[in-house]
Structure 1
């Protein structure tokens, strides 16, 4: 069983600039089959915007996702872990802060993401969440894929 965050994390990150529209973020999420993007300026992590943020902090309030920026709805200053941190620390931080994803940073550089889905695949591979996290994305008519929560 993996002991360190680096053994479980997804090493790639997808980022948008703070002024990117929510539509841009959603299109990236769909194209890359992910549920979040990082909001960054000049390599500095400013926040995380999730598919849920877009739905609940913008669309549900009737705002135009073409005109609202990612910075306006993101979670600023997200809780982060380091690649050398124990996996149990990531689990505890997710519980404490009620989040499903944590950016992984190393000396101020964002190097990956760890999600509740990543943890399920590693820690409980026979669970429903692990099955969902490993499954291929469904396709909607007219789209290449859909984002699924991880």
Structure 2
């Protein structure tokens, strides 16, 4: 199965924040959207919307320990993960999971020809696995078709 399958089965909206937004604004957006990471975009007149990085709850928590509450007024650009690990829609689900495991991340931007087309997350893979299990459980749980034999 390919990453593109997951993208087709989930909401296509990607929640993003600009590099100039404050960390406080980004955290409020994550809370409002009930998500744990944001795509950070840089809007340039010559290049359009480009992926600049990713900001995760983990980034915020680690910075909070190091810098204290003052980090909330910092621009996202100072805290985000630059050049995040990415995948393509044609990558297999296994390849995407291996990347996430290797880099200890839970969100993976999906790029096609350098353009952001979506994000897959650990939650998406959990949902996919549950669907597979439910399909397996449903087929195993169903009783075999009844066969009736008549003898006279």
What range describes the TM-score normalised by the shorter chain of this pair?
A: 0.7 to 0.9
Q: Computing the radius of gyration over CA atoms, which structure comes out larger, 1 or 2?
A: 2
- Report SS of the residue matched to 1:105: strand
Give the unaligned 5+ runs of structure 1.
Answer: 128-150
CA distance in 2, matches of 1:126, 1:26: 33
Written as runs of structure 1 = structure 2, the 5 A alignment for 1:69-88 is 69-88=75-94
Other-structure match for 2:4 = 6
1:126 CA displacement:
9.0
CA distance in 2, matches of 1:77, 1:107: 15
More helix by share: 2
1:50 CA displacement:
0.5
CA distance in 2, matches of 1:94, 1:32: 22
Partners of 1:12 and 1:111 within 8 A in 2: no
- What are the superposed Cα offsets for residues 15-40 of structure 1, whole Å, 9 maximum, x if unpaired? 11112101111111111111111111
Give the unaligned 5+ runs of structure 2.
Answer: 44-48, 134-152
Other-structure match for 1:47 = 53
Q: What is the count of residue pairs matched by the alignment?
A: 124
1:52 CA displacement:
1.5
Other-structure match for 2:22 = 21
Q: Which has the higher contact order (CA 8 A, sep 6+)?
A: 1
CA distance in 2, matches of 1:66, 1:105: 29
1:71 CA displacement:
1.2
Q: Tell me, yes or no, if structure 1 residue 60 matches structure 2 residue 65.
A: yes
CA distance in 1, matches of 2:69, 2:32: 23
- What are the superposed Cα offsets for residues 93-114 of structure 1, whole Å, 9 maximum, x if unpaired? 1111111110011112111111
- Report SS of the residue matched to 2:70: coil
CA distance in 2, matches of 1:6, 1:83: 4
CA-based RMSD of the aligned residues comes to 1.8
Other-structure match for 2:32 = 31
